[in-house]
Every structure is written in C-alpha cells, then in structure tokens.
Structure 1
Amino acid sequence: MSQLPGVEVVPRQTLLDVTDLIEFFQRRESVSGVQRVIAETAPLLLAADPYLLAVILDRPRGVFVALTRAEVAQFFGAAVSANREAQANDADTCLLRAQTAPPVRIDANTVLAFLGAVWINDALMLAARDAHALGAKLVYLLYDLTPVLETGHTAAVSRLFERYLNLVLDTASMVPAISQSSRNDFVAYAAAHGAKAPAGSVTGLPCGITPGRYDTSVRPWPRPYALFVGTVEARKNHVLALNTWKQLVDKHGIDGVPDLVCIGRLGWHADEFLRAYVESNGLGGKVSLLSTSVSDAELAAFYANAEFTVYPSRYEGWGLPVSESLAFGKLPVVARNSSLPEAGGTLAVYFESDNAIDMAIVIERDALNLETRMRIESQIADNFVDLTWQHVADAISHDIEQARSREGRKPMYPTIDLGREYVLAAGEDAPDSGYADQYLRHLQTEGLTPMLRQPRSADDFIVVDAGVIGTFGSPQTWGLEIRPGCRADFRFTRPVAGPLTILISTRSMPGLARIDAIGPGGPVQQEVYLGSVITLPLGDGAAGEPAQVTLSVTDAADSIEGFLGIKSFVVLAAEDLQTQVIALKSAADALRQELDFVTNTRSWKVTAPLRKLKGRGAS
C-alpha cells in the first residue's frame, strides 16, 4: 500500500475518495452496506496501484486532501481497530487535520474514483463537479436507482438522488455497477433523459456475513424459524411477508409453520407493516422483529440455524441477504425482480413479486416440504461459490484504467434563460395546502427568488449544479458559502448576443467581504456588504458562445461568520437597468427589514448607552 505524502501531481495519479467511510466512522456506526464496500476494496486498490492516493473532502473549503500514511494504516491497514470509539477518535483527528492540510492538485492527469454514497453528500457532489471542471476523469461505483424507481422516499431524498444521477451523466468517464440490473436501470434512466450512459463493468458483491468466522453452534431462537434480514422500510416489503405468514398459519395451523424472525433497523415508510404487526401482536407471536443490537456474530448464528430465509423486497441493487443465505447453505425464497435473480442464481427459489399467494405456494412447495428443501440445500452446498472482494477491486481497477485511457468529458456550459433568477439552494417543499396560512406564507417567501421575487422552479438544480462550480463549504439551506481563498465559477451558454451582466445575491449578515472577479468583462475588485447584490460585467459575445466569470473571496475578516454567502444569480442584458434596480431594491428592502428587527430587539436597546459611549450610535 503506497500513500504518497505530497500533493504534487504525478503521472497516472489516481485519487480514491474515502470520505463516506471516514465520516461513517466519525458517527460511531458499524460498517455495513456501502461503507463495507469501501472498507474491503480500498486496501486492495491501494496495494495494487503505487500512484493511488486515498483522499477525503475537507467540507469547509470544498477541496480534497490526501490521507497520511499513518491514517491509511489506521483505517485500511492489517490492524484496523474494531472499537467504534477508537475509530471515531481517529476519524475526528483526521478530519480536523484536513482543514489545514494542503489540497491535492487536480488536473487532466487525474482520475478520481468514488466508491461511497455520493448521493447523500451534496458537498461531495459539488467537489466532484469542480474536479471534473479542472479536467479530472471521474469514476463512480453505482449501487442502485432506488430513490427514483421506488416510492416511499421523501421528496428531498428523491431530488438529491436526481442531482446525483445528473452529476454522473454529466461528468463520469466510467460507471461500474454492482449488478447488471442496476446497470440496465441506469442505461434506461439516461435514455429517458436524453443522455447516453457511460460504460462500466459489473462487479457483483461478496457476502458481508459468512460462515466459519463465528461460533454458530448455539441456537439463537427457541423454536424453528425462517429468517428475513433487511431494513424495515416499505421497499423491503415486510407487510407482504406478514400477510403470507398469516395465510400459512391459517392453512397449516400455528405449529405447522416456523416462526418468522425479521432482523433489521427501522427505516422509513414502514407504517403499514408496523401497524399490522402491533395490532396482530406479531400474528400471535409467530412473527418477531429484532430492530436493534444484533451483532454480526449473532446474525451469523441466525443464518446458520434458520430453516430457510425469505426476501420479498420490491427492488434491490444486489441483495446481500440472498447470497448470505446461500453462503450458510440455506434456501432463500425470493421475489423475482431487479437484481435478486443475480444474487440468488439458480440456487434460490422465486415467487412473483408482491404476490402473497404465490409466495405462500413457493414456501409450501420448496421450503416446508422437508425432502425438497434438503435436496436444494444439497445443491447449494455443492454449487454455491461466493464472489471475492478481490474480484470487485479488479473490476473497479479495470474501469479506472479505462477512464485513464479515454478522453475526458467536456466541461458543462448549461443553457440559461435571460432574466430568470436561479436559486442555489434546493427549495423546501411547500406545506400541505390544507394549512392555507402556512401555504400562502410559503408562496410569498420561500417560494419566491430573493432578488426578482419570481416563483422558484423545482428544476433550478439542473442549471445550478452544472453552471456554478467552485470550492464551497457545505451547502446550506440558503445557498453556498465561499471562504477566503475559495472561488465560484459561473459558467453558461450566452442566451442572447450582446453585452451581459450577472447579478449575484448574497446572504445578509453583519459585515463585509472583499472579492476579486475575473471574466470577459474584465477584472473587478469590490468590497461587498453582506446582503447586497454583486454586479459583474460579462462582456460582449454571440448567442450560444460559452461565458464564465470567476469570483474569489480574498478577505472576510470583517464578516461575523468568516465567509461570503451567495444565494442566487440572474443574467441580464447590460442595458436592462430597470431589472437591475428591482434586484437592488429587493436587497435593500431585505436589509431594511433585518435592521428593523435588530434595532427593535431588547439586546439592542439595552446596549444603546454602550454604543453611544463608544461612538457607534445609539439609535
């Protein structure tokens, strides 16, 4: 394993982002799912490529920082600590060091690979966009398209995932996927959005829990049972399993059916199952739910001593509980959809997805019939071969090399509408229209843009994500923060011919910041009072030509929070002075309202004598 200490670019430089795993350690959570993929494959990739650097995102600056050799050994070496508290302390130290460490330099010689859950980290998505703009070739490991193909997610989660998919389609050179099903879904999604999906390998996934690593001789349950492992959420379809068990108990009697033991943390939108489970008292004790404190060792014992397993999920990217069941020699009864036939192959038995009657028939035929089940278990013992993490790492490494050999993706210059204000933060969903007062307040405040008071558009992110690139702090509910030494590039295709001007609204807070701006309208240096509007010339040009202006913060010492916050932008014809006045007046009105609020607070009135004494005014 080779972790280079410096930040200079070397030939064939590859950066492996491990932010997701390090922040997972920081939260004191046990490694599973996506994070297990990073934990298992990163050491293999690091060992195989002497030019590979493990990097993390420094959120306040929006830049990638290389791990030190000591940190690589802590998180990926042979003696990695299994103690969550120790891991969390190491992660805290690592992320704190990153805040003052020099960033890695990124250019066209760089390949940057993401193995983690980029879709839940909007700061990481911003940094990936910036790396692409600097010339890097990006590789993303694709898991599934659950938030856009399955209901049961919040609008915010679905919107964030759409932003992730747009990011991948705009910037990826290669996209390996954990299953052919996920790959097919990605290709179909791209086609439906007028894009071509980047190529990529299919990796598959090895089991997370395997026999031989734990003592499974002690039975964890007092009666015969079937096992269902999976997060308790709508997609996993616990309610179908409950209904199927009711059918089986009604037909065969309470002693003719094994218990159903469900193991998994509580997720979202599982209210239908939880209500039925509580109201029926777990079908009179035949169905049990263990949602917390089941260790890997205990889970292995549950697998090893189960009669069989069930997995009725409506959609998966792979289906680890299916392959884990096979690893323990147990028959999995599985819904036929998405990637589940890839995980189960010819050794699992399948029922029609979301069909309780068919699920019950298959369980009766293949699982409750002891002779049939033993025959299938014999086939499993003779034929099941688990994938290896080396196989996964080799597939990812292959795609990294493919990305290196390909021409990098071209920079994005999105098409914008002249005079339309684009908001940089994802808007909050409107409250239920049944609450008329709240709904009206939302339409008149959060539902309008800051400068021109235009209705906000839900698809602003399509332009904003591609058109506003830079080194930002973590995205905020109001927009983006630019700290001293950091920058924002506004880039787009000119909507019309002629001279243009860009207006950028800033977040209101006490103080000012100093900026430099470089663009086709020439260099600009300004002192910006926070809450005012920045006006920058974009020069002259033909419609359809690319335009870009770069805004850098040189000093924010006189601002209370130490950064410049930007909220929205609009591009206008340079001679459109009327609209510029409207934008400036909106900013002035907002500042006046804020000042009125401050000066009417009790603390302002109480400190008036002190301000008068200091010569700073008491009124």
Structure 2
Amino acid sequence: MGNEDREKEEKISFVETITAVKKEMEKLNNILSKDVSEKTLENISSLKAILDGFGRNNSEYSNNNQVKNALYFDISDLIIFFRHNRLPTGIQRVQIGIINNIFDTLSGVNVILCRIDPLLEDWVEVSTERFRRVALLSLAAGDSDDEEWRAEVDALHTLAPGKSALSFPRDAVLISIGASWGIENYFIYIREAKEKHNICYIPFVHDVVPAIAPAYCHPDDVKKFIGWLLSVLQHADYYISVSDSAKKDLITAARILGVYIPSEHIAVVTPATEIGSQKADSGKTTNLAHWNLSRQNYVLCIGTLEARKNQIGAFEVWKKLIMMHGKEQVPTLVCISGTQGYKGDQAIDCLNSNPDLQSRAIILRGINDIDLKNLYENCLFTVFPSFYEGWGLPVTESLRYGKPVITADNSSLPQAGMGLSVLYKTGSQKALLQAVEKMIFDQKFRAAKEEEIKKNFVLRTWSQVVQDLQNKVLGLTQGATRLAWVPPLAPQGYYALTKSDETALCAGTTSAEVYRHGTGWGALEAFGSRIMEDGAGLSMRLSPRTRRIAIHLIGPPHEHDKQDVRCYIETNLGVVLRDILVSVGKQRWVFIDLPPAEKERTFMCQVWSSSASSGVYQAGKKQSADIGVSGFFIFNEGDNREKIDFLEAVSLGGMEDYKQRTLPVTSVMVERPAS
C-alpha cells in the first residue's frame, strides 16, 4: 500500500472513530440528561462541539490544516431572498457572481458558506454544492413556482439531520457579502460569534442610498437601514465597498453619526463586467420576435422598477422623441425589471397613460441571464438614468457587450462607466434628450463610441473579483491589531431598546440594541423588545459612579386571554429581584441598586417571565408574549439634575425626549494581546 493510500485510509478511519464516539456521547447525554448537574451537561455539550470540529466529513478533515486561513461568507440574506424571489437583482447578482467563482479561484484558503439558523439560534454551515445548484437555477429562469426550484430552495433552508451549530475557529474572518439589514436580531448573532470566537467581521457595503438619499426609498426601509447602519458602525472591524463613491458615502454617513472610519479600513472591490457564469450560458435563447423586437431596433434600460432608477425620465424622453420624429423613426425602449420597488407604480402609470408611448416602450420581467445576454448583444445602445447608485451593473454589462451607454453623472456611475460612457447632468431632461437623440440619429457618433469601447474596454471577470477580494481582505486583516469584543460602556442616561425611527441621519443618533445579550430577545419593535421563554439578557460596562439601574418593563398586550404576570431579574453582581408584578397593558420601572465599586465593571442581568409558556411562536421558537423591555436608565452617584429630569419625564409621560438623548456608543471593542 502506498503512502497516499495509507494516509487516506488513516483519515477515513479517524473520521469513523470520531463519528462512533459522537454517537456514544449522544447516548450518554440522553441517559444522564435528567440526573446530572447543568455544569456536567455543559461539559458534555462542549466535548460534542469539539468532536464536531474534528469530524464533520472527510473533505473538511483533509482541509483541517487550512482552518486558520478560513474565510466564512455569510449568505443569510441571500437564502432569505430565495424564499420569496428567484431572479436576482443587483446585490444578489454580485453575491452569486462571487460565490459561483470563489471555490474555483482561491487557493490556500478554506472557504465556508454559512447562515443564521433561527431554529438552532446559531450559525450553521451551508452546503456549497446545494447552494450553487440554487444559484444556477436562479439565473436560468424566472418561474418561482417551478417544482424543481421550490424543492431546491426548501432543501437549502432545511438543516441536515444531526447538524450542529458552526464553531468558528479562533480569529476567523466572517464576510457578509449581501444586504443583512433586513434580518431581525442580526447583530446579536454577530456579537455571539465575536464573544465566543473573536471573529473579524467585515460587511460588504454595496451602498448607503437609504441614508444618503432617503427621498428615493420607502420611509420604513430608511428607518430599517439607519438602524442597521448604526449597528454596523458598532460591530464591523473593517469594510468592503463596491465603489469609491460608496466608500466616500459610508465615511460621510459615519461622520454624521459621530463615528470616524479610517479610509484604510475600507477596501474597494468593484464588481465584474460579465453577466452570470459560464455554467448559466447553456440553454435556449428566446427569439427577439417573441417581444416584437428585431436586431438594433430597440434601446435597453435595465433596473428595478422604482423612483430612484428614473424610468419615468426615460419615458418622458421617449414621448418627446415620438413628437419630434414620429413613431416609426424612434426605436423601442425596453425596460427590464426583476422586481418593483418604491414608487415603481408611477412609471407603470406613465407608460399606460400614453398610447403613443406604449407603441414604443415596453416593460419586460422575469428575464433570465441567457435572454439578457441576447438582448444586450442585439440592442442599439443602453440608457441608465438613475438618480443614485452604489455601483451600476447595467453600465459595465453594456460596455461588456460593446454597447454605448448613456448615464447620469452622479455617485458611482462615472466609475462604472470606465470613462467610456456618455454622461449627462443628473436631473436634466434636456441633457438626457440631447444625448439619446444624438445616439439614435448620429450613426457616426454611435459607431465612434462603439469603436472606443472595443479598443479601451477592460474585461473584469468574477474570478478576478474573487482574487481581488482575497487580497484586500488579507491586506486588511493580516498583521493588524485584533480587537476583542467587550460590552460597551453605558454612561448615565436613557437607552431605548426600540427599533429605529429615524428617517434621516442625525448627529449623535445611536443604537442601544448593542446592549442586548444572548438570543433570548424578540425583534425590536416600536415599544421595545419581547423576551423569549428562556429569558433575555443585558450586558454593559459601568462607571464606578453608577449605583442604580432602572429597567423599563412592558406588560402583556391588551388581549382577552392575557393576565397579569410576574417576572424575575438576576444580576452578576449578586442582586436578585423576584415576583415583580407587571399588569396587562401597563408599564413598570424596576430599580436595581448596585454595590459600591472602585473601578469600571461589567454588569449583566437576565430577565424572564413566570408565564412564558403562554407565548406564541416566532421564527420557529416560542416567544413570551407577556413581558417586554422598552429600555433602561443608568444613574450615577451625585448627578441629581439627571435624576430630576428622569423623574419628570416618567411622571409627565415624556420619555420620548430621553429616547432622543440616548448617548452615543463610540467604541465597543478593545485591543487584545497577540496570542
């Protein structure tokens, strides 16, 4: 037997041994679960986790020597997206482009896909092959009811039997390459990973449009995004941006919120200029005649149907072209949209209200990658009149197929155009009309732009993006001083545990969500956050002068089957409060007096209810529908003015003023000695 065969056999034998031991541990756990102490059970669970890390499967074991160089990619938001959508939009296209190429491009790095599992209340690994199948299907067709598609997506969401939580290796790098701002309690899981494994968290910032240009977004999305941004600034070690403009916007937004991000902590990794992947190239192409189109008799306008993409601006230009030149002389404007966004109905109304425009403009949906490439290849040129972007994939895609592109001169669009696009002044309908008219009727000008693109366009593949990403991440993390997560300091003042209600960036605004500890919390809501059946924790650093903490409790909602309940609070400083009565539809302040201290200390407390069993299910686990926490107040010894203001606010119902005065969290990490 050769050395390679012997080594392979030894590895297989080792994995089999580990698997057998794990099975015996499961039996032991079942036998002892009712008869041993909680500490013993914790030790058993810890041993099981260690064994999981050694013997998940043969391939992972064979790559065990690479674990210290692991890159973990969080795709939680993309998996949620696939639950309700099939065809990807801009951000999802970037994610798929990276993931589809990352395993074939990177070397010397152990790449692992992961997501948050709400049932397990922890991070879990995602099957690479299963995800790639789903990604390939998403690019191939637009039918979200297709049986094969639904089966693959359901399988992607289902945790494999016996699969345990993901145990990050110490100092692993977790990269969130999507849009995590729609995931409830996302940063609780980031904090858990930082506390347990000291991970380095790097989010992709595709754009900060809801914060920088909120007029183009739904107010609820603006509130949600600003809440996410506040938390990102409290948790991120470094950042990846998709453009120089998006990087500048992030630094500006952070500065408004009182946070300074060094420019060198943000690496720019621009997207590829190719569509999809080679594996998605095969398949039947829809004939252009299917849409009453023919080669070079149409102009493309690609983007989500929403106010920010400004399809209305393009429609208005086409109306004028028809009036000036007649319908027969004007090419068809083809708007391709995967989804409909904020105020997208206005563009539809604009189209439907004008019969002449309807004869020279159409909206296509559900276009897969194969047909999209065909439409690019045969169009006359493209127009992208967006008011603001993080990047602008349709711009670079148009250039990729040698097609001139007319685009506004704002945000990242000049960079996406690579100096090859035709720019017009943002908001000027006259300038847009002149540019489009010249491109349609001046054949020499159009031919010259095509020749310029042919000579100067530089192809950027997704493989190159992946390699660039690896180099930038390593450049950010290797040799840098690592920071260990510690609970943030809580100076005197009121801290609201409510969802963000900000519709614009305001100086001094921050999020107290960072003080929530553990996975026992419900979602942030307008009134606060409900606690789960196992209780919810708070964690913070306190000044030596802090002698009292008041916790603002919210009783059960007004429902006919709800009763007054009692809750319990236990702290790590020896203070225990029992049988706290909280009435239906009422609020109650609970005061915790702390022992004297000579130096800064960490305060932790756990709040739970006596009737959590009457709760309702949320995200697959039982939520206590009775007790909630609206916020807490920190009192420092000797600050009588603050105490008087607090008492006045509570007695007069003015706690909203205190919510606006929440003190900023400026830093939540400290230097950790090199290991």
Matching residue of 1:408: 483
1:81, distance to aligned residue in structure 2 (A): 5.2
Residue 422 in 1 paired to residue 496 in 2? yes
1:466, distance to aligned residue in structure 2 (A): 2.5
Residue 238 of structure 1, aligned match among 311, 331, 334: 311
Matching residue of 1:74: 130
Q: 1:101 to 1:556 in 2, by over 3 A?
A: farther
Residue 99 of structure 2, aligned match among 15, 18, 42: 42
Matching residue of 2:7: none
Deviates more, 1:529-538 or 1:472-481: 529-538
What SS does the aligned partner of 1:380 have?
A: helix
Residue 53 of structure 1, aligned match among 112, 127, 139: 112
* Residues 223-279 of structure 1, C-alpha deviations (whole Å, 9 max, x = no match): 622111111211111121122223323332323321212121322123543333222
Residue 116 in 1 paired to residue 171 in 2? no
What SS does the aligned partner of 2:52 have?
A: coil
Matching residue of 1:273: 347
Kindly report the root-mean-square deviation, in angstroms, between the aligned alpha carbons of the 2 structures: 4.0
Contact between 1:26 and 1:87, CA under 8 Å: does it hold in 2? Answer: no
Residue 142 in 1 paired to residue 198 in 2? no
Contact between 2:69 and 2:110, CA under 8 Å: does it hold in 1? Answer: yes
Residue 201 in 1 paired to residue 201 in 2? no
1:100, distance to aligned residue in structure 2 (A): 7.9
Contact between 1:259 and 1:286, CA under 8 Å: does it hold in 2? Answer: yes
Question: CA separation in 1, counterparts of 2:512 and 2:160?
Answer: 27
1:114, distance to aligned residue in structure 2 (A): 0.6
1:486, distance to aligned residue in structure 2 (A): 6.5
Give the AA of the match of 1:279: S
What SS does the aligned partner of 2:261 have?
A: coil
Give the AA of the match of 1:319: G
Contact between 1:108 and 1:408, CA under 8 Å: does it hold in 2? Answer: no
Map residues 3-14 of structure 1 onto 2, 5 A cutoff.
6-7=52-53, 11-14=68-71
Matching residue of 1:593: none
In structure 1, stretches of 5+ residues that fail to align are: 430-457, 587-619
Residue 20 in 1 paired to residue 113 in 2? no
Matching residue of 1:465: 513
Q: 1:361 to 1:426 in 2, by over 3 A?
A: closer
Question: CA separation in 1, counterparts of 2:448 and 2:245?
Answer: 29
Contact between 1:516 and 1:552, CA under 8 Å: does it hold in 2? Answer: yes
Contact between 1:56 and 1:64, CA under 8 Å: does it hold in 2? Answer: yes
What SS does the aligned partner of 1:141 have?
A: strand
Question: CA separation in 2, counterparts of 1:545 and 1:282?
Answer: 73
Question: CA separation in 1, counterparts of 2:355 and 2:307?
Answer: 20
Matching residue of 1:524: 576
Deviates more, 1:535-544 or 1:475-484: 535-544
Matching residue of 1:441: none
Map residues 441-520 of structure 1 onto 2, 5 A cutoff.
462-472=510-520, 475=523, 477=525, 478-483=527-532, 487-491=536-540, 493-494=542-543, 497-508=545-556, 517-520=570-573
1:316, distance to aligned residue in structure 2 (A): 0.9
Give the AA of the match of 2:571: I
Matching residue of 1:153: 217
1:201, distance to aligned residue in structure 2 (A): 2.0
Identical aligned pairs, as a percentage?
22
**What is the TM-score of this pair, normalised by structure 1?**
0.76
Q: 1:325 to 1:574 in 2, by over 3 A?
A: closer
Deviates more, 1:199-208 or 1:44-53: 44-53
What SS does the aligned partner of 2:523 have?
A: coil
Q: 1:11 to 1:303 in 2, by over 3 A?
A: closer
Residue 313 of structure 1, aligned match among 376, 386, 404: 386
Deviates more, 1:202-211 or 1:339-348: 202-211
Matching residue of 1:432: none
1:557, distance to aligned residue in structure 2 (A): 6.3
Matching residue of 2:189: 127
Question: CA separation in 2, counterparts of 1:571 and 1:11?
Answer: 42
Contact between 2:120 and 2:165, CA under 8 Å: does it hold in 1? Answer: no
Contact between 2:521 and 2:529, CA under 8 Å: does it hold in 1? Answer: yes
Deviates more, 1:253-262 or 1:333-342: 253-262
Question: CA separation in 1, counterparts of 2:533 and 2:169?
Answer: 22
**What is the TM-score of this pair, normalised by structure 2?**
0.70
Q: 1:572 to 1:363 in 2, by over 3 A?
A: closer
Question: CA separation in 1, counterparts of 2:605 and 2:157?
Answer: 28
* Residues 373-400 of structure 1, C-alpha deviations (whole Å, 9 max, x = no match): 1222123233323312122222332343
Q: 1:425 to 1:146 in 2, by over 3 A?
A: closer
